Amino acid sequence: MRTTITLEDELAQELQERARKTSRSFKDVVNDAVRLGLRALEHPPAPVSYSITPVSMGRPKPEFDLQKALNLADSLEEVAVMQKLELRK
């Protein structure tokens, strides 16, 4: 089937380069690329699983007041919640 498509310049150059390097026609390279793209859409790759190994950072030093950090986190969270509520209006 004959049709007209508009390719981005960079993509067209890549396809032409591939055709030249492989001594194939531009049409064959485009058809193969589209075919591979369609197959990839039908069968997306499986998600990669990963695991995280927790590491102990030890006990906090007595001179650090963790309550200050917790209070700061609370106040920042309150501000974020208020901003989200404002956006809903």
The structure's pTM equals 0.50
DSSP class of residue 47 equals: P
Cβ 17 vs Cβ 6: under 8 Å:
no
Mean pLDDT of 62-89: 89
Residues 8-55 pLDDT 10s? 999 999 999 999 999 999 999 999 999 999 998 998 888 899 999 999
Tally Cβ neighbours within 10 Å of residue 29. 19
DSSP class of residue 78 equals: H
What is the three-class DSSP state of 40? helix
What is the spatial distance between Cα 70 and Cα 76, in angstroms, rounded to a whole number? 10
Which tokens sit at 60? 């906090």
Which tokens sit at 11? 């993509």
